Amino acid sequence: MLWTEIKYLVGKEIRLELKQKYVINGILLYLVSTIYITYLAFENAITGETWNSLFWIILLFVAVNGISKSFVQESPARHLYYYTIASPGAVVLSKILYNLLLMAILSLLSFGFFLLLMGNQVVNVPLFLLTLVFGSLGLSSVLTMVAAIASRASHNFSLMAILSFPIILPLLAVLMKVSRTALSSMDWSGLSPLLVILITINVVVIALAYLLFPYLWRD
Amino acid sequence: MLKRDWWKYLSGVLLLYAIIYGFKVDIPDTMIHETMRNLFYHVGMWFGMFSMLITGFVYSLRYLRKFNEAEDLVAVEAVNVGLMFGFLGIFTGMIWANFTWGTPWVKDPKLNGAAVGLVIYLAYMVLRGSIDDVHKRAKVSAVYNIFAFFLWIVFVLILPRISGESIHPGKDSPPVLPMHLEPSMRVVFYPAMIGWILLGFWIMNLRVRIRKIKLKIEN
C-alpha cells in the first residue's frame, strides 16, 4: 500500500520536473557556473585537499538550492489534495526518494565537471562513488525534512540555509573524511566506523522524517 | 515552601561551596597548574547546558503527544537556558584554552561540536520568530528540535570519539565521567555539577512562569 503510493508520487515528481524543464535546467546551470567560477578562482591552487573541500561545498549549495523547492513549488491546495489521497509517510518518503535521484544525478555530473576542469585527484574511485551514494541519500533526506520545516514558515528560502547548514554539518564532516581517504590512498582499512556512522545517520534521519512529517502538514 | 523549593536552596549551597572551596581544594600538580580549577565551572556549565537541551528535547516530544501549550513553553525556555550555559561554557573554555593551549580557539572536533550546537539552537529561535501562529510555531519548532537534537548528538558525542584527533580531554571516557579525576577534585566536581544543573532548572522554571503570567495578562 505504502509502496504503491510512493511509486505513483515519485512518478508524479519526475513527470512534473520534466514538464517544467526550466527548474532542473536552472539547477544544472547553477552547478556548472559555480564549478567554473571556482575553476577560475582556484586555477593554480588545486591540490587533493582543496579539490575535496570545493567538491563538497559546491554539492552542498547545489543540494540546498535544488531541494529547497520540494514543498513550495506546488500550491498549498494541491498539497491538500495529495494528503487526501496518500498517507503523509508516503508523501515524505517519495520526496526523499525523488531528491535522492536528483542528487545522485547532480553529484555524478559535478564529479564529471570536476574531472574535466580540475583533473582527477581521486585515487580510490569505487570508494568515492560509494561516498557519493551515501552523500546523495544523506543530503536528500536531511534537506527534504528541513525544506518541509522551512516551508511552514515565512521567508522560507533564507530560513532553509539557516536551518540546514548547522544540521548538515555532522553528515558533511563524515562524508569529507571518507572522501579524503578516497583521494589519498587505495586503503579501505579503518573506514568501517565512519561508514557505520554514515549508514546510521541515514537510517535514523529517514525514520525521523517518516515519524515527524505527519505533524508538519496537519494544520 | 521548603518542601517544594528545597532543590533551589540546594543549588545555591552547592554552587557557593564549589566557588569557595573550588579555589582552596588541593589539586594535583599537572602541566596546566592552577587552571585545573576551571574544571569545576567549565565542565559543570557544559553539563548544565546538556541537561537543559535534553529537557528541551523531551518536552518537544511531549508537546507532539498532547499539544499542550505549557509543554512548548518549557521546551523553548529550556533551550534558552541551554544557550546561556552554552555561551558561558564556551567563554570559560576560551579563557582556559588561552592558558593551556596558548590560543582561545583551536580546530578541534569538540570545539566544533559546541559551536555548531549554539548555531543549531540559535536557528531554532530564528525559526520560532518567523512563524506567527502560536500552534503552528509550537508544532514546527518541536519537529525541528527533535530532528536537530539527534544530529547534534551524533556530532558532539560520537564523532569526536571515532575521529581520534581531539586535543580536548574527555574523549576516551563515557560522557558522564569526565577523565580520571583525583578524589580530592571529585568532592568539588560532583557537587558543582549538580549545582549547575539545578541552577539551570531554577532559571528555566522562573522564565516559564514569567511567560505564563505574560500570556495571562495578554488574554
- Cα–Cα distances (Å) from B6 to A151, B194, B202, in that order, read 45, 14, 11
The residue of chain B nearest to residue A162, with distances taken between CA atoms, is: B123
Residue A173 carries which side chain, given as an amino acid letter? A
Residue with cell 561508514: A195
Helix (H, G, I), strand (E, B) or coil at B165: coil
- Whether residue B176 has pLDDT greater than 50: no
- Whether residue B31 has pLDDT greater than 80: no
The residue of chain A nearest to residue B124, with distances taken between CA atoms, is: A163
- pLDDT mean over A30-51: 89
A205/B158 touch (CB, cutoff 8 Å), yes or no? no
- Domain around B69: 11-24+31-213
Give the C-alpha separation, A18 to A13, whole Å.
9
The total domain count for chain B is 1
Least confident of A72-81, A130-139, B159-168: B159-168
Dihedral class, residue B164 (left if φ above 0, else alpha if ψ from -120 to 50, else beta)? left
Residue B218 falls within a domain, yes or no?
A: no
Give the C-alpha separation, A19 to A74, whole Å.
13
Whether A161 and chain B come into contact, CB under 8 Å, resolves to no
How distant is the Cα of A159 from the closest Cα of chain B, in angstroms?
Answer: 7
> How far is C-alpha B99 from the chain's CA centre?
23
Q: Give the pLDDT of residue B205.
A: 93
Residue B52 contacts residue B82 (beta carbons within 8 Å):
yes
Q: Give the one of A149, A165, A193 whose C-beta lies nearest to B144's C-beta.
A: A149
Whether B90 and chain A come into contact, CB under 8 Å, resolves to no
B/e letters for B70-90, b = 16+ CB within 10 Å, e = fewer, are ebbbbbbbbbbbbbbbbebbb
Residue A138 contacts residue A175 (beta carbons within 8 Å):
yes
Residue B3 falls within a domain, yes or no?
A: no
Q: What is the pLDDT of residues A84-131, one digit of tens each?
A: 888 888 999 999 999 999 999 999 999 999 999 888 888 888 999 999
Q: What angle do CA A134, A50, A128 make, to 5 degrees?
A: 25
Residue B90 falls within a domain, yes or no?
A: yes
Residue B110 falls within a domain, yes or no?
A: yes
Residue A201 carries which side chain, given as an amino acid letter? I
User: Which of A171, A215, A217 has the highest number of chain B CBs within 10 A, making it the mutation to test binding with B?
Assistant: A215
State the ipTM, two decimals: 0.88
Q: Cell numbers at residue A126, please?
A: 569505487
B151/A212 touch (CB, cutoff 8 Å), yes or no? no
Whether B147 and chain A come into contact, CB under 8 Å, resolves to yes
Whether A192 and chain B come into contact, CB under 8 Å, resolves to no
Q: pTM here?
A: 0.89
- Which are the contacts of A49, defined by CB distance < 8 A and separation ≥ 6? A180
Whether A154 and chain B come into contact, CB under 8 Å, resolves to yes
Helix (H, G, I), strand (E, B) or coil at A47: coil
Residue B93 falls within a domain, yes or no?
A: yes
Residue B61 falls within a domain, yes or no?
A: yes
Q: Give the pLDDT of residue A188.
A: 79
A167/B151 touch (CB, cutoff 8 Å), yes or no? yes
- Domain locations in chain A? 2-218
Q: What is the pLDDT of residues B82-124, one digit of tens each?
A: 999 999 999 999 988 888 888 888 877 788 888 889 999 999 9
Residue A195 contacts residue A126 (beta carbons within 8 Å):
no
Of the pLDDT bands very low, low, confident and very high (cuts 50, 70, 90), residue A194 is confident
